[in-house]
Amino acid sequence: MRKSGLVAGRRDKAAVLPTSQRAHRRVPMLLLIVALALLLGIEACSGRSKPAGRPATPVPSATASAAPSPPAVRSGLGWASGANGNYPADINAWATWTGRPVDVAVVFTTRKDWPSITTAPWPVGAFTPAQFPGQLSVAQPLYPENGDEQACARGDYDGYWAQFGSTLTRYHRGDAYVRLGWEFNGSWMYWHVRDPQTWKSCFVRAATAIRSTAPHVKIEWTLSAHTDTLPGSKNDVWAAYPGDAYVDVVGIDDYDIYPAAKTQEAWDKQCHQPSGLCTVTDFARAHHKKLAVPEWGLSYSNGGGGDNPFYIEKMHEFFTQNTDVLAYEAYFNNSEADNVRSSLNNPNLNPNSSRRYLELFGRNRGTGG
């Protein structure tokens, strides 16, 4: 029906029809309205509706988020320096030990199911700006342990990722760094790349969905250093790069392994591998992206160098020389027997490196050798 009976100052023709004709004209219109109502009812009850319990899917968008603004540097180092922890108390303990504020807290979600990954109040809710005034970096798998990259690439998980963006926004962390599918080139991560094209489609959908509800989020693509090919294939690690439109920050987790950097020659070899720190930095610059080193540290496994202060020195030198491109770095302090055992404090498993770290990164840096 027309919204008005008047057109250009005159009455609509239907308004001057005889009564019998007007009644006759209303019958088809009523039938049309009834038919439309029935169709809408069928659609609402059909199998094409969203399954119960699955979040609504956002409209995909290829629009990249705005260039990430650098976090406020509180540490006084000249770049943003971070630490890992489950709660702000862990981060504050690191700050007390170093004698300087921590700029970035690196956290990890639980991976058992979607609620743990996307809507649980921990860890994001434990790091609101009121509880920790620095920046937040969240490591996220691309799906739970019972998920797969094909379903992700189809868009089956888009709604969950939109929920995660809402979680970030709710806790005033909409500008967090999100390390989607980090260390994807390591077979030890269950979300590692099986098929590069499928994995990239999965990453793109997740990034797009998060941005739909957290438009200021900083999406980080983080590889594991010194693993040049993707698991189960001969594909180069860079075959998994999803494209500049879907990446705000290029990241690398860099431990003192494959091989350990005990000498300058070993450091150069390690740094310039296809998945080495120097190579990744060159890539970030070429693509006008910021660089993150969200995990770095000593290691006793996989040919690691153990208590190796030379490695600490080289990492500090690297950060000093690349402040223009560095978004943030964070030492991974770990004492678990089945992990890298990189701990420098609480407990101090590496006294030589611990002392050198404080000399270079601590409040009284520069007073050591």
What are residue 108's phi and psi, to 5 degrees? -135, 135
Residues of the chain with CATH 3.20.20.80: 81-361
Q: Are strands 10-11 and 6-7 parallel, antiparallel or unpaired?
A: antiparallel
Question: In the CATH scheme, what is the code of domain 81-361?
Answer: 3.20.20.80
Asked if 100 and 363 touch (Cβ cutoff 8 Å), the reply is: yes
Place of tokens 């438009």: 215
Residue 26 makes CB contacts below 8 A (sequence gap 6+) with none
Q: How far is residue 217's CA from residue 180's CA, in Å, rounded to a whole number?
A: 12
In tens digits, the chain (369 residues) has pLDDT values of 333 332 333 333 333 333 333 333 333 444 343 343 433 343 333 333 333 345 554 444 445 555 445 556 889 999 999 999 999 999 999 999 999 999 999 999 999 999 999 999 999 999 999 999 999 999 999 999 999 999 999 999 999 999 999 999 999 999 999 999 999 999 999 999 999 999 999 999 999 999 999 999 999 999 999 999 999 788 999 999 999 999 999 999 999 998 899 999 999 999 999 999 999 999 999 999 999 999 999 999 989 999 999 999 999 999 999 999 999 999 999 999 999 999 999 999 999 999 999 999 998 755 433
Q: Which residues pair with 330 in a beta bridge?
A: 82
Q: 71: burial class by Cβ within 10 Å (0-12, 13-18, 19+)?
A: buried
